[in-house]
Chain A
Amino acid sequence: MINNSLTGKKHANHLWNSFKKQAYLQAFVLIGILFLFVFSYIPMIGLIIAFKDYVLTDGVKGFFTSPWVGLKYFMEFFTEVDSGMIIRNTFGISILKVIFTFPVPIIFAIMISEVGPLKYKKVVQTASYLPHFISWVVVYGLVFSFFSNDGVINSALKSLNIIDKSLPFLTDPSKFWPLAVISDAWKEFGWWAIIFIAAIVGIDPSIYEAAQIDGASRLQKIRYVTLPGIQGTICVVLILTLGNLLGGGMSGSNFEQSLLLGNNLNREASEILQTHILKVGLVQLRYSYAAAVGMLQSVISVVMIFGSNFIIKKLSGTGLY
């Protein structure tokens, strides 16, 4: 008993000593925690208005004084004319992005790590992540110039006599999802490849040498050395991607894309939860409703992050925590 308490005390002392040793580093962490607390946790108090009949003029006080309405706004969302369409689009675009845009940076990272000349490698890598720094507003302009009736794509297809009439890339609902996925993959694959390239660089070169001695081909080296070597990174990025599934996965670009590339003609494919929140909630000043729909999305995201972490940990032994 006495022994136990002594061990406990010793352990606490040890913790405190190592904490003191890392005082400066811990100060940095504290700033991060404070940042999260102030900007992520305190605003969560506002979620209360999802269950209340909140009016903006009541200010912050109204968060607590306005009358309770239970699940009224959640029910309202599910009985909206367009709720089915909005849910379908949100999940549809998000799942397609995970399926098609998640593997691209991994494949690209492997390809680039297999390239010999360093100069060429650097140029390609830099060029690949430059689009990440272009805002979606500018990308919208580029997409419009490329895909409009008189745009580069339609003009090229017409001059090659492949089509007679311009293809309605920007107005046809059936073309919105592919447009969103392709433009997102183009904009973000280079940026996300950085983390995978770093993981590949971290693999011990002696393993490649051993594989080579064993007579492994280039593809076999990728299959048996590179991929297992970056498995942990892939798992972590996948969990984070699934956590932000409804926001657009890795890039979180669903909102910007739907707002800018979406229009009244392709609305049945482009309207998603976030644009709905903006239009009905903020433009119509219905904050309680907006909070309720926003909360729904957050709850789904939390479930996704815990769920994906649990499943991936079971399957691969790697997880976030």
Chain B
Amino acid sequence: MKIRMFSTVLPLLIVLSMVMTACGSQTGNQTANTAGETNSADAGSTQLEPITLSIFVNMDWYWVDSFGGRPVDDEITKRTGVKLEVTKAAEQDNQLAILISSNDLPDLVYNGTKKLDPMLIKQSYSYNELIEKYAKDFVVEPEVIANNTVEDGKFYTIKNNYSTPEEWRADNPRLVASPGSPTLAVRQDILQELGNPAINTLADYEKVLGMVKAKHPDMNALALGPDQYGERYFKMLFGIKSGESEIFEENGAIKFQARDPNYINAYKYMNKLYRDGYIEAESLIYKYEDFQQAVNNGKTFSAARSADLYAEANKAFEQAGAPYKMAILNKMLTEEAGTVNDGIGWAGLYITKNCKAPDRAIKLEQFLRSDEGQKLCVWGVEGEHYTLTSDGYPELTPKMAELAGDYTNMVQKVGNMAWSFAVTSKPEGVWNYSENERTQWLRLSKEKIKDFKPVYSFLVPTDNIEETAIYSKVVDYEKTQTVKLISAKSEEEFNKVYDTMIKNFESMGLVKLETWMTNKYNQIKSRFN
């Protein structure tokens, strides 16, 4: 009896839930249509019908996990009618992949993980199509289109934090390199103790490391830290020819970074520092927390990481009541120092095929990309968070200046930076400006950008082809081998480790990969001229 009742009720429930789901989708479509009509009728109007779009932010470290109630959030809603329903990734490596495979994508995805882009693209609307249909007045710069165009000739996002070579090269003292630029910080108090020896060259630096070790044998003379971050500082000093894509062009052929003589010289130098006892083996296996602890406990003389390292260390020293002081080594220690910028931007907004109102989504992106949208997203609300100087630069209000001291807290209170889906590097560089040692170093780093090669970013295979697997294998293997180069016990061992590494790259298929990349380079390079 019970079984019979169950077998009658269950199908009924299923049918009922299907009907309700269908009703739900219908409502969604109706919203989309209505919005489309409203949009076309009220093109350019700020009085848009309120709508809530769901968004997945694929960054597990993100500052905020909700939208609304902050001055910038509310201003965005006021200007566009859009509210966001935010889901922040709990785990950014796999969660988006699962959403894609289960077709559970929300209306929008804000993604900065390159590896997942191809999958996301298949599930998203192209901007070409949406601009053509709903936002004909949305003008995107040709180089930005080139930087975001994929195999099918369309672009599916506009990666933010990209500035054109012209913007970088322009004489704008406020536009400096990203705070993520590799930087060397040294302990100012110990330098003073040693009689303030000048550090202008690598030889000077080595001499000082020797003095530090002689006076403080238990001290970590140089900590490089995890993720090859510190190694990047020395690669920059030796003028490495590759950028973030880890490849470079030589005589028309594309090669992996490990073949660059400057790469070899940089690691040879780090190996020399290791053999001289200035780098501890243990510092090469530090996880970030270990690295931070090694710096903050005062047992490290110099450390290479981002430009913010010194400030974080000084804050920790102050809190611990320690009389230490860290400062940026504000000089390029070699003549040949320089970097290659192959960036095409960082993260971007994808409008998925599940989006209930793609017209409203593209209009939102258009607003966020506009001059006023970018200023709002980065600087906040004019009058409340900044005022404009006579030459058009933002000057933080006292309240905002105080808030900016704690970046995360500022984003969570004001909402600036949180929704900067479409901003270029410029507004943040200009906003972030204050003339201090950090800015001076970042300006110097900017001046040392030798070349702009966005084309390199397109030579990294991402499709489901053999070369994609080879690239991942080679890049990941290289990450495991550089500490072996640094910790080689002699120059002979260094050469042996290096030769084995190259041999292993080749057995993974590096030559095949380089041929593929060279062919692709020849096909697309004209797009970037």
Chain A positions near chain B (C-beta within 8 angstroms) = 53, 55-60, 62, 81, 144, 148-150, 168, 170-171, 263-267, 279-280, 282-286, 289
Beta-carbon contact of B282 and A57 below 8 Å: no
- CA gap between A168 and B281 in the complex, in Å: 8
- CA gap between A263 and B477 in the complex, in Å: 13
- CA gap between A56 and B99 in the complex, in Å: 10
CB-CB nearest in chain A for B508: A81
CB-defined contacts of B284 to chain A, threshold 8 Å: 171, 264-265
Q: For the complex of A and B, list the 4 residue pairs with the smallest distance between their C-beta atoms, beginning with the closest.
A: A263-B285, A284-B472, A264-B483, A59-B101
Beta-carbon contact of B115 and A285 below 8 Å: yes
Q: Which of A57, A144, A149 contacts B119 (CB 8 A)?
A: A57
* Closest beta carbon of chain A to B100's beta carbon, Å: 6
CB-defined contacts of B495 to chain A, threshold 8 Å: none
Beta-carbon contact of A264 and B115 below 8 Å: no
CB-defined contacts of B103 to chain A, threshold 8 Å: 59
CB-defined contacts of B93 to chain A, threshold 8 Å: 282-283
CB-CB nearest in chain A for B116: A285
Within 8 A of A (CB), among B100-126: 100-103, 115-116, 119, 122-123
Given A56-B101, A282-B93, A144:B504 Cβ within 8 A = no
CB-defined contacts of A148 to chain B, threshold 8 Å: 282
Beta-carbon contact of A170 and B282 below 8 Å: yes
| B58 sits at the interface (CB 8 A) | no
* 26 residue pairs bridging A and B, Cβ less than 8 Å apart: A53-B464, A55-B464, A57-B123, A58-B101, A59-B101, A59-B102, A60-B102, A81-B477, A144-B290, A150-B218, A170-B285, A171-B281, A171-B282, A171-B285, A171-B487, A264-B284, A264-B481, A264-B484, A265-B285, A265-B487, A280-B473, A280-B476, A283-B476, A284-B115, A285-B97, A286-B469
- CA gap between A149 and B59 in the complex, in Å: 35
- CA gap between A285 and B472 in the complex, in Å: 10
Within 8 A of A (CB), among B438-489: 464, 469, 472-473, 476-477, 479-484, 487
- CA gap between A75 and B299 in the complex, in Å: 49
CB-defined contacts of B280 to chain A, threshold 8 Å: 149
* Closest beta carbon of chain B to A78's beta carbon, Å: 13
CB-CB nearest in chain B for A58: B101
Beta-carbon contact of A168 and B101 below 8 Å: no
- CA gap between A314 and B220 in the complex, in Å: 59
| B94 sits at the interface (CB 8 A) | yes
- CA gap between A267 and B478 in the complex, in Å: 13
CB-CB nearest in chain B for A261: B285
- CA gap between A59 and B105 in the complex, in Å: 13
Known A57-B100, A171-B281, A264-B483; 7 more pairs at CB < 8 Å: A56-B100, A57-B101, A148-B282, A170-B282, A264-B285, A284-B472, A285-B116
| B507 sits at the interface (CB 8 A) | yes
* Closest beta carbon of chain B to A63's beta carbon, Å: 11
Beta-carbon contact of A149 and B507 below 8 Å: no
* Chain B: number of interface residues, binned into ranges: 35 or more
CB-defined contacts of B480 to chain A, threshold 8 Å: 264, 267
- CA gap between A158 and B200 in the complex, in Å: 37
Beta-carbon contact of B483 and A265 below 8 Å: yes
* Closest beta carbon of chain B to A65's beta carbon, Å: 13
Within 8 A of A (CB), among B20-43: none
CB-CB nearest in chain B for A59: B101
CB-defined contacts of A286 to chain B, threshold 8 Å: 469, 472
- CA gap between A267 and B481 in the complex, in Å: 10
* Closest beta carbon of chain B to A196's beta carbon, Å: 37
* Closest beta carbon of chain B to A316's beta carbon, Å: 45
- CA gap between A171 and B280 in the complex, in Å: 10
Beta-carbon contact of B479 and A264 below 8 Å: yes
CB-defined contacts of B97 to chain A, threshold 8 Å: 56, 285
Mask for B281-297, Cβ within 8 A of A = 1, else 0?
Answer: 11011000010000000
CB-defined contacts of A171 to chain B, threshold 8 Å: 281-282, 284-285, 487
Q: Which of A81, A265, A267 contacts B281 (CB 8 A)?
A: A265
CB-defined contacts of B464 to chain A, threshold 8 Å: 53, 55
Within 8 A of A (CB), among B154-183: none
Q: Which of B123, B282, B469 contacts A149 (CB 8 A)?
A: B282
CB-defined contacts of B507 to chain A, threshold 8 Å: 81
CB-CB nearest in chain A for B284: A265
* Closest beta carbon of chain B to A147's beta carbon, Å: 10
- CA gap between A53 and B282 in the complex, in Å: 41
- CA gap between A150 and B484 in the complex, in Å: 22
Beta-carbon contact of A282 and B285 below 8 Å: no
CB-CB nearest in chain A for B285: A263
Mask for B491-528, Cβ within 8 A of A = 1, else 0?
Answer: 00000000000001001100000000000000000000
CB-CB nearest in chain B for A166: B282
CB-defined contacts of B116 to chain A, threshold 8 Å: 285
CB-defined contacts of A170 to chain B, threshold 8 Å: 282, 285
Given A59-B101, A264-B484, A168:B282 Cβ within 8 A = yes
- CA gap between A53 and B93 in the complex, in Å: 21
Q: Which of B122, B123, B218, B469 contacts A284 (CB 8 A)?
A: B469
